[in-house]
Amino acid sequence: MKRFYTAESVTEGHPDKLCDLIADSVLDACLSHDALARVACEVMAAKDRIIVAGEITSLYEPEIPKIVRRVLSVVGYDPSQFSIQCLIHKQSPDIAAGVDCSLEQRRNGGQEDSVPQLGAGDQGVMVGYACNETPEMLPLPVVLAHRLTISLALARRYGLIHGLRPDGKAQVTVEYGEDGKPLRLDTVVVSAQHSPVLEHDELCWELTDKVLFPALQPLPPDEDTKILINPSGRFVLGGPEADTGLTGRKFMADTYGSMVPHGGGAFSGKDPTKVDRSGAYMARYIAKNLVAAGLASRCQVTLAYAIGRAEPVMVQVDTFGTGLLQDDHRLAETAKLVFGLTPGEIIAQLDLLTPRYAQTAVYGHFGKPDLPWEKTDQARLLREAVL
């Protein structure tokens, strides 16, 4: 039976992504000066105003207006056109107490192991996924959608297409065959903000030649592929002037598209004690190493945590019938042996106190080879442990 899967991506000038980028830039600034900073930063962009709110407990007080103006400028907006409001206070002492001293430690009289037993900063479910259909070990629609928006942003930034503006988005639908592998490119949608003097036909030709064809090389369009460029017609008014932006509203674009469920927690603006983020990174790390080990061609890892408790309350692996073993439960048990799954262990294994989060805020949190959770350095150990 044929199936269709769709994924979306947006440029850094999209109002929601602008907010994610500001939030993660604030986080990076805090971690650069205080590796133990607790940050939960939320951003709203509406018309000519940027509102930064949340909880920050840090030895360093970030210059938030300066960070916001720098991000606006890099993305392609005029900072002088925006007013900036900051509503920041410290982390709740109740949450801080549960994070600093986990439930397990409190039951053990507060004694610490060699690895700090941080409690999870929240309850929640985190999902990681990997597959062997692309070099990035991501679903092909996700890879193509990000390639399109990256190409669109670069075409604007380097003047390859004159008249482009910062806001933009792409959507890709791929048809999969009965064997579960990508078969053909079904539909491509690209919306690009542009100058009012740029004619629609000229824009379509330029985008097709300089963005679509190069970006879609992994699976080129065929004669039946539907290509829709600025289907609404005009896209002159964009960014926060046209749509209100908020952090965390593009979490399907941040992850795996429609093919994979999402635990529900967004990533940007959160320090790694928040397992919404660190747990999702670890789940991806485990899934990618299981696929790299040849133990499955598709793999979904699900973790669940309770606030204030260090150990996860659930670890589950699903290989969708592609696993080398008939029992996915064995893979889950092996993963618990090979990977440390408490917040402190995750932070140490994945080097999550290093300020690199702004690069994750746009074009996906996965698939970028220089990120620690994208390594496959545990694949051999996993295979040996299982077999």
Check the annotation: does 235 bind a ligand: yes
**Token reading at 105:** 């430690």
Check the annotation: does 250 bind a ligand: yes
Check the annotation: does 169 bind a ligand: yes
Q: What angle do CA 217, 170, 355 make, to 5 degrees?
A: 95
Q: Report how far residue 345's alpha carbon sits from residue 47's, in angstroms, rounded to the nearest whole number.
A: 42
Check the annotation: does 266 bind a ligand: yes
Selection from 3, 24, 9 nearest residue 266 by Cα: 24
Range 60-65, long-range pairs (CB < 8 A, 24+ positions):
60/29, 60/30, 60/32, 60/33, 60/34, 62/26, 62/29, 62/30, 63/29, 64/26, 64/88
Check the annotation: does 366 bind a ligand: no
Check the annotation: does 270 bind a ligand: yes
Selection from 218, 254, 8 nearest residue 126 by Cα: 254
Check the annotation: does 20 bind a ligand: no
Q: Report how far residue 387's alpha carbon sits from residue 381's, in angstroms, rounded to the nearest whole number.
A: 10
Instruction: Look at the alpha carbons of 284, 286, 287, 290 in this order and tell me if their dihedral is positive or negative.
Output: positive
Check the annotation: does 375 bind a ligand: no
Check the annotation: does 91 bind a ligand: yes
Check the annotation: does 298 bind a ligand: no
Q: How many CB atoms lie within 10 A of CB 115?
A: 15
CB crowding 330-339: b at 16 or more within 10 Å, else e: ebbebbeeeb
Check the annotation: does 146 bind a ligand: no
Selection from 156, 221, 216, 214 nearest residue 184 by Cα: 221
Check the annotation: does 213 bind a ligand: no
Longest CA span, the chain: 71
Check the annotation: does 175 bind a ligand: no
Check the annotation: does 4 bind a ligand: no
DSSP 102: -
Q: Report how far residue 145's alpha carbon sits from residue 62's, in angstroms, rounded to the nearest whole number.
A: 34
Q: Which residues sit in the known binding site for L-methionine?
A: 55, 91, 243, 274
Q: Which residues sit in the known binding site?
A: 14, 16, 42, 55, 91, 167-169, 234-235, 243, 249-250, 266, 270, 274
Q: Which residues sit in the known binding site for K(+)?
A: 42
Q: Which residues sit in the known binding site for Mg(2+)?
A: 16
Q: Which residues sit in the known binding site for ATP?
A: 14, 167-169, 234-235, 243, 249-250, 266, 270
